[in-house]
Amino acid sequence: MKSSIQIYKEVESQKTIITSISGSGTKSPEEFLRALDKFGIEWYVTEKGTLMIKYWQIGSEDFVSPERAAIIRSDRPSPEQGDELDWLSKNLPNVRGRYSGQWIAVYSNEIVAAAPDLPDLIGQISGFERPLITFIPAEPVVWTFTYAS
Amino acid sequence: MLVKNFEQVVRFYEARQDPSGPSIWLPLVNVTLVTPANSRVSLPLLFDTGASVTTLRADLHPILGLQSWDQGIRVETDTAGGRTVVYRYTYTLEIFGKTIDCPIHLASQLPYHPLFVGLLGRDTVFNEFGFGFWESTHELYLTQSP
């Protein structure tokens, strides 16, 4: 675990680097992001286009438009949101074993709610932003389609 | 020679019955539905160029703020399984960085699958984007300005 002095030094170091990048005449958001990568500073862009930088977690609102954010985020999703579909795909056998016949809500790579009825599930997920919702069937699933090999 | 440019990559996801069993790869898209209560939920949909309209399972109707699935406009439509009745609505979807008011069909005969709850169809949604499809790399390519 890092000491508070170590963390303070890291933050101060990052502040200095980011200040120097900001003042170095970078022309576009993509150039700015490449400069952050060059210095090993972790970042992500939210769906609304806010730039978030690790340690600081300072939001720079309107950094890019939502359309441009979607392009940037296709390579680097927000860590707090993750890719719930990827997580579900990789954990499907376990999820089917435990939640068959239920609606589930996945958020931040974990199942945060489950219920046999959708209205019950809806009542459990009001505190989550954009949870992924799907139904885990109890009966056998058709896994191949006419267009799948 | 015609050249098309795409700035986003949409990946396929693996569907596997059990850890040692065979798998298939599906083009799935996380679509954000803006509910009548103005909350947002993420619905995984199968990218389906064969679907004329985005279609959701009928039992999702509570999340759409509906008392029953058949309150909308009755539409008879042809599917791979034959002629069927669906009900048409309009909802707001957030997808690939755009917000779109989109026709949605509720259908009672969609097969169950744990990785998707409906089909992302062509009507309105596909007009906004251009797509390229590479099966061998398990990737879809997308542009916001076709």
CATH number at residue B100: 2.40.70.10
Q: What is the Cα–Cα distance from B107 to B120, expressed in whole angstroms? A: 13
Range of the domain at B45: 8-143
Residue A146's pLDDT band (boundaries 50, 70, 90)?
very low
Residue B1: inside a domain: no
Tens of pLDDT, residues B22-75: 778 889 999 999 999 889 999 999 999 888 999 999 999 999 999 999 999 999
Give dist(CA B7, CA A61) in Å, integer.
Answer: 23
- Enumerate the residues of chain B whose CB falls inside 8 A of the CB of residue A149: 24
Q: Which residues of A touch B13 (CB under 8 A)?
A: 85-86, 89
The reply to whether residue B80 touches residue A146, judged by beta carbons under 8 angstroms, is yes
Residue A132 at interface with chain B, using a CB cutoff of 8 Å? yes
By C-alpha distance, the chain A residue nearest B114 is A136
Identify the helix (H) or strand (E) that includes residue A15. Answer: helix A4-22
Predicted local confidence at residue A7, as pLDDT: 59
List b or e across B98-127, with b for residues whose CB sees 16 or more CB atoms inside 10 angstroms: eebebbbbbbeebebbbbbbbbbbeebbbe
Structure tokens given for B17: 């019955």
Residue type, B57: R
Is the C-alpha dihedral spanning B14, B15, B18, B21 positive or negative?
negative
For B57-73, b/e burial (b = at least 16 CB within 10 A) is bbbbbbbbebeebeebe
The dihedrals phi and psi of B58, each to the nearest 5 degrees, come to -60, -30
What's the confidence (pLDDT) of residue A134? 96
CB contact under 8 A, A89 and B19: no
**Chain segment B127-143, per-residue pLDDT in tens:** 999 999 888 888 889 89
Amino acid A82: pLDDT? 58
Q: What is the pLDDT of residues B88-139, one digit of tens each?
A: 999 999 998 899 999 999 999 888 899 999 999 999 989 999 999 888 888 8
Contact state of A47 with B97 under an 8 Å Cβ cutoff: yes
Model pLDDT for residues A87-137, shown as the tens digit of each residue: 999 898 889 889 999 999 999 889 999 999 999 999 999 889 899 999 999
| Tokens 């919702």, located at residue | A133
List CB contacts (< 8 A) between B32 and chain A. 130
The whole-number pLDDT of residue A147 equals 42
**Closest residue of B to A84, CA-based?**
B30
User: Has residue B79 been placed in a domain?
Assistant: yes
Evaluate whether residue B23 is within a structural domain.
yes
DSSP class of residue B131 equals: E
Cβ-based contacts of B19 with chain A (< 8 Å): 93
* Phi and psi torsions of A96, nearest 5°: -65, -40
Question: Is residue B86 over pLDDT 60?
Answer: yes
The CA distance from A71 to the nearest CA of chain B, in Å, is 5
The tally of domains found in chain B comes to 1
Query: What is the average pLDDT score of chain B?
Result: 89
**Is A85 within 8 Å of B39 when comparing Cβ atoms?**
no
Of A64, A49, A57, the residue nearest A80 (C-alpha):
A57
